[in-house]
């Protein structure tokens, strides 16, 4: 009798796991149409030199990167005793939208520095530091810190002309 209950429980868990992996996950801004829109935004960011367009592209990508799959987005109606055995599926994408946003913000910040728009550059570079603190984005954060430190030394530079 106990083995029959165990077999029943295992078969229910296997069928629930099978159903879980077969369901498509809906996430904000990552269906095929909107992903292509994000990819086009990223491509445009890499190709343009207009500061305003670069800033707009960086903002669009940063906003999309900050949207994520939350616990409330995945609902699988199960009895309470089985819910603890089922985890929320991880969202997987072919590219890292956060890396795209960081790369675009870095490019926009660099272009703003070159154009002499230091306030715009600081805002864009600070965005990288605040939204991408994880170690997998260390390249972008180090580059942003380096540019910001150059901007700070340019502001502190003082010349003294003595007769």
At residue 11, the pLDDT reads: 73
**Structural domain includes residue 48:** yes
Say if 145 falls within a structural domain.
yes
Query: Could you tell me the residue range of the domain that residue 98 belongs to?
Result: 27-152
Of the pLDDT bands very low, low, confident and very high (cuts 50, 70, 90), residue 136 is confident
Burial environment of residue 53 by CB neighbours within 10 A (0 to 12, 13 to 18, 19 or more) = middle
Contacts made by residues 96-99, CB under 8 angstroms, sequence distance 24+ = 97/30, 97/38, 97/61, 97/64, 97/65, 98/65, 98/131, 98/132, 98/137, 99/136, 99/137, 99/140
The verdict on pTM exceeding 0.75 is: no
Contact between 42 and 61 (Cβ < 8 Å) = yes
| Residue 8 lies inside a defined structural domain of this protein | no
pLDDT of residue 23: 45
pLDDT at 59 over 70: yes
Number of domains forming the structure of the chain: 1
């Amino acid at each position: 009798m106990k083995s029959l209950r165990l077999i029943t429980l295992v078969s229910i868990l296997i069928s629930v796991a099978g159903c879980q992996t077969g369901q498509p996950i809906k996430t904000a801004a990552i269906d095929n149409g909107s992903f292509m829109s994000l990819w086009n935004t990223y491509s445009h960011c890499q190709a343009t030199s207009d500061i305003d367009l670069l800033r707009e592209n960086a903002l669009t990508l940063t906003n999309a990167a900050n949207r994520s799959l939350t616990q409330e987005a995945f609902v699988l109606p199960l009895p309470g005793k089985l819910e603890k055995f089922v985890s929320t599926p991880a969202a997987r994408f072919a590219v890292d939208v956060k890396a795209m946003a960081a790369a675009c913000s870095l490019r926009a910040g660099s272009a703003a520095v070159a154009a002499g728009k230091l306030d715009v550059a600081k805002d864009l570079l600070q965005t990288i530091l605040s939204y991408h603190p994880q170690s997998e984005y260390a390249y972008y954060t180090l580059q942003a810190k380096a540019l910001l430190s150059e901007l700070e030394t340019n502001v502190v530079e003082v010349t003294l002309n003595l007769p």
